[in-house]
Amino acid sequence: GDSVTQMEGPVTLSEEAFLTINCTYTATGYPSLFWYVQYPGEGLQLLLKATKADDKGSNKGFEATYRKETTSFHLEKGSVQVSDSAVYFCALSDQRWGKSTFGDGTTLTVKP
């Protein structure tokens, strides 16, 4: 079945540091890929998405590129802020059936 493997956390960075959270996937067919962010006690917020190979999703300074050859969708941000502290989930969605498979989540803490 489909699976998503995320870089283990937690990740602690200083403000303005560069962020990378690795994500690789296994899927049949051609899934859509997503990054979600979850703040403490809240639901999921879609951060960015890509629906086909070589697409780049971007939002709020975060970027991720759908790499079919390496089955990866790594999340990057050039300069993190304290307000970016949250749990980040990489996920794929089966385009035919719509159900989502999530990675284990990576907790990011950004210190001033």
Query: What is residue 84's DSSP assignment?
Result: G
Number of residues that bind another protein (CB under 8 A): 23
Asked if residues 88 and 21 have their Cβ atoms less than 8 Å apart, the reply is: yes
Please identify, among the stretches 15-23, 69-77, 78-86, 88-96, the one whose residues bind another protein according to the rule CB under 8 A.
88-96
Q: Which listed residue (72, 85, 100, 109) binds another protein by CB under 8 A?
A: 100
Burial of 76 (0-12, 13-18, 19+ CB in 10 A): middle
The residue among 13 and 44 lying less far from another protein, judged by its C-beta, is 44
Of the candidates 23, 99, 104, 13, the one whose C-alpha atom is nearest the C-alpha of residue 66 is 23
16 touches another protein by CB under 8 A: no
Contact positions vs another protein (CB under 8 A) = 32, 34, 36, 41-44, 46, 49, 51, 89, 93, 95-105
